[in-house]
Amino acid sequence: MTFRDKLKEAEAFAEERGCKLLYNEPLGPHTSVKTGGKCDLAVISPSAEVSAEVFNKCKAIGLYSMVMGNGSNCLFSDDGFRGAVIIPAPKSGKISIEGNIITASAGVQLSAVCAFAQEHSLSGLEFAYGIPGTVGGAVYMNAGAYGGEIKQVVKSVAAMGTDGKLIAFTGDELGLGYRTSRFERSGEIIISASFELIEGDKEKIAEKMGELISRRRARQPLEYPSFGSAFKRPEGTYAGLVIEQSGLKGKTVGRAQISPKHANFIINLGGCSSADITELIELTQKTVKENTGFDLEPEVRLIPAEP
């Protein structure tokens, strides 16, 4: 089967399931750092279940594909993506509540779940307010901030296996570690996640969320496109600290810069390329290793144009 034949088969399958198809779609607007070339096919999916079905179909016919959430940790090549990128349609997810458990579809913005919890006087997700990305991405990466992480509050996750069957995982079965989960390796696609929270005071929860978002605005370069944290925390120290100690704060490659405000943020100054960012990541790793002995591992997913 030729590449064109694979693409046509994927297109027909996705259309049958109510997806919107975009051809030669620029990927930059779909990511938080705003870089990357064009993909052959962008599939705008009406639900997480459909996203998983389309992904499994692409895999079965040998078409390079991926499911993307908010694109907050994705660095696509300037050469684009030779295949299909599956993206949730805006506001396609659902949030529900039963007692002190909130369940949200994978495509729902994490901050929306935090706000929903606050509205229902449920505490435990305050740390996540302001984290860019979706519920699916947050579980996939075990997102965290300010001493909290998804691992502490996730009760269960529904996913679709490569055989198309739905699977339910308890929190203990998710393999959640520092910015990692079983889903990085398994090929399973997250459909939804349930969070077990505790009753709290609605006003105090709002106050805590406001405090944390103010800290973000004061300490992070939110006025520029970025990934959030660019590197994982090295054992025994902080990525931003060793980057700053290596004299790299404010370092620029092309239109990519290590933020003068927070050294673990790589920002797009405008007109930045993915190649600029990749070069800056590699330069940072090399310089930090030489100056401090620490090995920096990117939180960013570097996505090649072809498998």
Residues identified as active-site? 179, 229, 299
Answer for the pair 230, 266: CB distance below 8 angstroms, yes or no.
yes
Q: How far is CA 181 from the centre of its chain?
A: 13
Ranges of H-type helices in the chain: 3-16, 48-61, 110-119, 135-141, 183-186, 202-219, 239-245, 274-292
Q: How far apart are CA 177 and CA 150, in angstroms?
A: 10
The pair of structure tokens assigned to 105 is 């579809």
Which residues, at least 6 apart from 293, have a Cβ–Cβ distance to it below 8 Å? none
If residue 120 lies in a helix (H) or strand (E), which one and from where to where?
none
Q: What is the DSSP string of 87-109?
A: EEPTT---EEEETTEEEEETTSB
The pair of structure tokens assigned to 238 is 């902080």
Q: What is the DSSP string of 131-166?
A: --SBHHHHHHHT-EETTEEGGGTEEEEEEE-TTS-E
Would you tell me how many other CB atoms lie within 10 Å of the CB of residue 190? 28
Which residue do the tokens 């330069």 mark?
283
Answer for the pair 134, 108: CB distance below 8 angstroms, yes or no.
yes
Q: How far apart are CA 16 and CA 35, in angstroms?
A: 31
Which residues, at least 6 apart from 150, have a Cβ–Cβ distance to it below 8 Å? 128, 138, 139, 142, 143, 144, 176
